[in-house]
Chain A
Amino acid sequence: MNDAGEPGYNFAYLDESTKRMIRRAILKAIAIPGYQVPFGSREMPLAYGWGTGGIQITAAVIGADDVLKVIDQGADDTTNAVSIRRFFARVAGVETTERTAEASIIQTRHRIPERRLSDGQILVYQVPIPEPLRFIEPRETETRKMHALVEYGAMHVKLYEDVAAHGRITTSYNYPVLVNGRYVMSPSPIPKFDNPKMDMMPALQLFGAGREKRIYAIPPYTPVKSLDFEDHPFSVERSDRPCALCGATDTFLDEIVADDRGGRIFVCSDSDRCGEQRDQVASGDGAAP
């Protein structure tokens, strides 16, 4: 039966046996927070590196009643986000939205929305390299053992080398986290600004790496701690200027070129949040910039 989708294709594009295989992997991932479950990643109608892991998770999870939001670096209107949103509108016939609060599923590349997500929402991350230890140890057989034995000393050495060379931890994105006190996990290349949002988040977080064929998850209300040292605690960089469009001072900003003379402005990376803030300011009930 396919009454809400593209004629000639199964609902949400993937065949049912692939969906079941992905669904079983997601269930194990939820049961073992932060552990990378291998899965049989499929060829998708876009290249690896364009969010095939996230798309396969969304395809396995989505139902006709869902409302889908897709962001790329926080924005709903960039090429990758628009393509993926259109893909699911076409193959699953689902409603899509740019409003964080209205979405039941949010697929994201490299950002967590600024608005606190609620219980019942699902955040699907696109992940390029799921293994946080990969740059330290290239062999999968070894990284698997390291996770099994909680052998994470090398990761702390890597962070310590930052401290030794620069006086502080300079890793600014894809900053490793410890999930539920057990597994070191890559949060995907989100800015470390977003790391604190993962901790005890009421929404379910699912991570898909298509090329690397791994799925992992963080259930709602799960402790997620960014790795650090007692004398060099984890901290988030704050911008010293407000968003040039909405005036927000508490959001993650992107630097964009504003004219052809090299002029640059800093604006919210989260386009929905920025728009909401501007609407509020315009209607007079928000904080003045």
Chain B
Amino acid sequence: MTMDQLVAPAGLDMRPGFDEPVAASQRVFRALMDALSRPGRIVDLPALAQAPHELEPAAAAIGLGILDGDTSLWLPRDCAAAAAWLRFHTGCRIARSVADADFVFVPRGAAAPDLSQLRLGSDEAPHASAMLVVAVTGLEAGSGARLTGPGIDGEARLSVTGAPDELLVRRNDMVAAFPRGFELVLCCADRIAALPRTTRLEG
């Protein structure tokens, strides 16, 4: 990768990342690990002072904490500033299509990409699959859809508002062929909830 690919396009406002990247990355990871190992639990991410306006602060923090040159990221076309910002701070590759992406970010109001292209891994290598990070307008634990599966003591309830149309229904179909599947992280402001492929979601 040449240097000029890492530098923001001229005229773009290149916002700062984490003040303390080592500590903040660790906290982002722990929050994500907590959310994935306890589906339906709502977890706070470290505050990020100036995330690009296209991204939820939680999605921006996940990007800074988890992405690097070994990972590829897909963002909608109209999110060039967010893509440039994440590429600058993490060195991640920008995927040309959803099928090539390890991480797929869907910001608020953006049209969901063609989910049928999302990488689900294979039966022999189910880990070679994507994480879908989607902005929603509301997350509430304790009411809403019923969640069961690993990480959940009995059952959990999660209410999601403002997710792209049919996302959760599509998701259920796409994780039906376990171990193939993908992980879904729902972001609302600086909070997240996660649905690993093992979580059964009803209602």
Contacts and interface: CB of A to CB of B under 8 A. Distances in A.
Interface of A: 1-2, 10-11, 16-17, 19-21, 23-33, 35, 37-38, 60-64, 119, 144-145, 147-149, 180, 182-183, 202, 204, 217-222
Contacts of B123: 148-149
Contacts of A29: 127
Contacts of A182: 178-179
Question: Closest 4 A-B residue pairs measured CB to CB?
Answer: A31-B196, A148-B123, A219-B151, A222-B150
B117 interface: no
Contacts of B131: 27
Interface of B: 20-23, 25-27, 29-30, 32-33, 36-38, 65-71, 122-127, 129, 131, 150-153, 178-179, 181, 183, 196-198
Contacts of B20: 1
A202 B153 contact: yes
Nearest to A38: B127
B28 to A, nearest CB: 9
- For A28, A30, A31, the residue with the greatest tally of chain B CB atoms inside 10 Å of its CB is A31
Chain B at the A interface: SS class:
loop
Given A21-B70, A219-B151, A32 B126 contact: yes
A10 B21 CA distance: 12
A20 B68 contact: yes
26 contacts: A16-B21, A16-B25, A17-B69, A17-B70, A20-B67, A31-B198, A33-B150, A33-B198, A35-B126, A35-B179, A61-B30, A62-B26, A144-B124, A149-B123, A180-B150, A180-B198, A182-B179, A218-B150, A219-B36, A219-B37, A219-B150, A219-B196, A220-B38, A220-B153, A221-B152, A221-B153
A238 B122 CA distance: 43
Nearest to B127: A28
A261 B53 CA distance: 76
A202 B154 CA distance: 12
Contact of A35 (B26, B127, B183): B127
A218 B66 CA distance: 21
A63 B30 contact: yes
Contact of A2 (B22, B37, B70, B198): B22
Contacts of B127: 25, 28-29, 32, 35, 37-38
- For B37, B66, B198, the residue with the greatest tally of chain A CB atoms inside 10 Å of its CB is B37
Contacts of B25: 16, 19-20
A221 B66 CA distance: 26
A145 B124 CA distance: 6
A222 B17 CA distance: 37
Contacts of B23: 1, 11, 63-64
Nearest to B175: A31
Contacts of B21: 1, 16
B22 A16 contact: yes
Nearest to B22: A11
Contacts of A63: 23, 26-27, 30
Given A23-B66, A28-B126, A221-B150, 11 more contacts: A2-B22, A11-B22, A30-B36, A61-B30, A144-B125, A148-B124, A183-B179, A219-B36, A219-B150, A220-B38, A221-B152
